[in-house]
Amino acid sequence: MRVRGLPKTFWYLWTGTLINRSGAFVMLYLEIHMVAYYGFSATFAGLVLGLFGGGLALGSIVGGVLADRWGRRGALLISHLMQAAAGLIMGLTFQAHWIAILATLFGFWNGLGRAPFSATMVDVLGPSARLKGMNLNYWAINLGFSISAILAGFLSRAPHFTVFALTAAAQLATAAVVFRLIPETKPTLVPSVVKLELKPAGSIMAVLRDRAFMGFVLLNMGLWVVIEACKLIPVAMHQRGLDPAAYGTVIAVNGVMIVLGQLFVPRLISGRKRSHVLAAAAVLVGLGMGAVAIAGTVPLLMLTVVIWTAGEMLNAPVNGALIADLSQPEMRGRYQGVAGTSFSLAQFISPIFGGLLLDNAPAATLWIVLAAIAAAVAAGQIVTGPARERRAQVLSKHQGVPVAVSP
Mean pLDDT of the chain: 83
What is the share, in percent, of the chain residues with pLDDT greater than 70?
Answer: 91
User: What is the reported pLDDT for 197?
Assistant: 47
Tens digits of per-residue pLDDT, 91-111?
888 888 888 999 999 999 998
Integer Cα distance of 317 and 321 in angstroms: 6
Q: Are strands 189-191 and 402-404 parallel, antiparallel or unpaired?
A: antiparallel
Tens digits of per-residue pLDDT, 227-283?
988 888 887 887 787 776 677 778 778 878 888 888 888 888 888 899 999 999 999
pLDDT at 397 over 80: no
Q: Are 167 and 103 in contact (CB under 8 A)?
A: no
Query: Confidence band (pLDDT; 50, 70, 90) for 402?
Result: very low
Name the packing angle between helices 274-290 and 211-228 (round to 10°).
30
Q: Are 155 and 23 in contact (CB under 8 A)?
A: no
**For residues 50-72, average pLDDT:** 86
Lowest mean pLDDT among 140-154, 172-186, 281-295, 312-326: 140-154
Q: Which of 136, 153, 132 lies closest to 28, judged by CA?
A: 153
**For residues 62-87, average pLDDT:** 90
SS3 402: strand
Query: Facing residues of 404 across strands?
Result: 189
pLDDT at 332 over 80: no
Tens digits of per-residue pLDDT, 307-316?
999 999 999 8
Q: Alpha carbon of 131 to those of 20, 198, 350, 365: distances in Å?
A: 22, 26, 28, 37
Name the packing angle between helices 130-154 and 8-22 (round to 10°).
20
Class of domain 7-179+195-399: mainly alpha
CB proximity list for 193: less than 8 A, separation 6 or greater: none
Integer Cα distance of 41 and 360 in angstroms: 12
Amino acid at 268: L
CB atoms within 10 A of CB 257: 18
Integer Cα distance of 50 and 128 in angstroms: 36
**For residues 357-386, average pLDDT:** 91
Query: Confidence band (pLDDT; 50, 70, 90) for 196?
Result: very low
pLDDT at 42 over 60: yes
**For residues 359-365, average pLDDT:** 84
Q: Are 57 and 345 in contact (CB under 8 A)?
A: yes
N residues, the chain: 407
Query: Confidence band (pLDDT; 50, 70, 90) for 137?
Result: confident
**For residues 220-225, average pLDDT:** 94
Beta strands, E only, 132-177: none
Query: Confidence band (pLDDT; 50, 70, 90) for 375?
Result: very high
Lowest mean pLDDT among 145-149, 150-154, 216-220: 150-154
Integer Cα distance of 378 and 209 in angstroms: 23
**Number of Cα atoms under 13 Å in the Cβ half of residue 401:** 8
Amino acid at 101: I
User: What is the reported pLDDT for 78?
Assistant: 94
**For residues 20-40, average pLDDT:** 78
**For residues 29-46, average pLDDT:** 77
pLDDT at 319 over 60: yes
User: What is the reported pLDDT for 1?
Assistant: 47
Integer Cα distance of 119 and 144 in angstroms: 21
Q: Which of 97, 32, 27, 16 lies closest to 56, judged by CA?
A: 27
Name the packing angle between helices 96-124 and 72-90 (round to 10°).
160
User: What is the reported pLDDT for 198?
Assistant: 45
What is the share, in percent, of the chain residues with pLDDT greater than 90?
Answer: 28
Query: Confidence band (pLDDT; 50, 70, 90) for 188?
Result: low
